[in-house]
């Protein structure tokens, strides 16, 4: 019976140790993305892309993608960090506004 509280404490501690916090650079990029997306400034979003992303999604295709997305999503009200996926990219929940 005494092992149960210890096990609960160890599980709770391990869960807290995996908590993720948003990196400042990622927060800044997300804020810029929100601003550029809401103002339909897709060229500025493209400038945020890495070289690999620019090669994978050229400027005109990126613009077409964002125009289509804007038609569906209308506007981003706020981005709230949720987690890093596979330690490499940020996940934000999506809430559509009309």
Give pTM, 2 decimals: 0.66
- Asked if the structure places residue 97 within a domain, the reply is no
- Asked if the structure places residue 42 within a domain, the reply is yes
User: What pLDDT does residue 12 have?
Assistant: 47
- Asked if the structure places residue 83 within a domain, the reply is yes
- Which residues, including other chains, have CB under 8 Å from residue 74's CB and lie 6 or more apart? 96, 97, 98
- Asked if the structure places residue 96 within a domain, the reply is no
Residue 96 has pLDDT above 90, yes or no: no
User: What pLDDT does residue 4 have?
Assistant: 45
| Structural domain that includes position 50 | 23-91
At residue 7 the predicted structure's pLDDT band, cuts being 50, 70 and 90, is very low
User: For the segment 42-78, what is each residue's pLDDT rounded down to a tens digit?
Assistant: 999 999 999 999 999 999 999 999 999 888 877 887 7
User: For the segment 31-49, what is each residue's pLDDT rounded down to a tens digit?
Assistant: 898 899 999 999 999 999 9
Q: Map residue 77 onto helix, strand or coil.
A: coil
Burial category of 41 from C-beta neighbours within 10 Å (exposed 0-12, middle 13-18, buried 19 and up) = middle
Tally of structural domains, the chain: 1
- Asked if the structure places residue 51 within a domain, the reply is yes
């Amino acid at each position: 019976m005494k092992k149960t509280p210890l096990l609960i404490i160890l599980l709770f501690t391990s869960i807290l140790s995996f908590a993720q916090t948003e990196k400042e650079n990622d927060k800044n990029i997300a804020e810029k993305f929100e601003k550029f997306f809401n103002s339909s400034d897709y060229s500025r979003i493209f400038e945020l892309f890495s070289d690999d992303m620019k090669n994978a999604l050229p400027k005109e295709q990126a613009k077409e993608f964002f125009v289509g997305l804007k038609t569906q999503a209308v506007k981003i009200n706020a981005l709230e960090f949720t987690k890093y996926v596979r330690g490499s990219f940020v996940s934000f929940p999506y809430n559509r506004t009309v």
